[in-house]
Chain A
Amino acid sequence: GQQLNQSPQSMFIQEGEDVSMNCTSSSIFNTWLWYKQDPGEGPVLLIALYKAGELTSNGRLTAQFGITRKDSFLNISASIPSDVGIYFCAGQRRDSNYQLIWGAGTKLIIKP
């Protein structure tokens, strides 16, 4: 089963608003990744994080690797309609070389 707690499960926002979501675990992770999945498609990698405290941006997206190595955060600034979709965090645990563990996703919905 899932070993990453991702929240919130869903978000209703107005266009132009900033969005924040996070992922937590009881285990220590070496890598945190953030993906976006649109309906009928596979996940697309948005940001990869490899060091505790690392802050990385990709356009309007910013993600951080938590200092404790047990959490990560994703922020989206000035949301636009194409940001709609499901955002997943994924991580590689310190004791697992090749397996990515995934959160259950945050569904982003923009209010009309």
Chain B
Amino acid sequence: DAGVTQSPTHLIKTRGQQVTLRCSPISGHKSVSWYQQVLGQGPQFIFQYYEKEERGRGNFPDRFSARQFPNYSSELNVNALLLGDSALYLCASSPPGGARSYNEQFFGPGTRLTVL
């Protein structure tokens, strides 16, 4: 079975631009989470979506938004990019089931965003 896929793998933008990152979860997974990982740190939670609804949001500004589609794929949008948005953006999907399954997250390889 294919794992979580993300596109693009790398992206270079300039300050003030907007970016859209894409994620396809593992087949059968209905929950998608987005994380930002700055070099040398652990991932920081941005959003979680389940059945197209936002289930949780981390401490990120409104410039960050996301959505989930009927096929459970997801997009993360970041507007008005800042230098500090440079990071690896990770998408993870979770299998259906009880509360425990939300935590057992399977990660994609990430999108490396560089803001110049």
Contacts and interface: CB of A to CB of B under 8 A. Distances in A.
Given A2-B42, A42-B4, A104-B40, A98 B107 contact: no
Given A2-B42, A102-B43, A44 B107 contact: yes
Nearest to A4: B42
The main secondary structure of chain B at its interface with chain A is: mixed
Number of contact residues on A: which range applies? 20 to 34
Interface residues of B, number: 25
A82 interface: no
B51 interface: no
B8 interface: no
A48 interface: yes
Contacts, number: 65
A100 B41 contact: no
B43 A43 contact: yes
B100 interface: yes
Given A42-B92, A45-B106, 4 more contacts: A45-B105, A92-B103, A100-B43, A104-B41
23 contacts: A2-B41, A31-B100, A33-B103, A40-B109, A41-B110, A42-B4, A42-B107, A42-B109, A42-B110, A43-B90, A88-B42, A90-B42, A92-B103, A96-B56, A97-B55, A98-B56, A100-B43, A100-B45, A100-B103, A100-B105, A101-B45, A105-B41, A105-B42
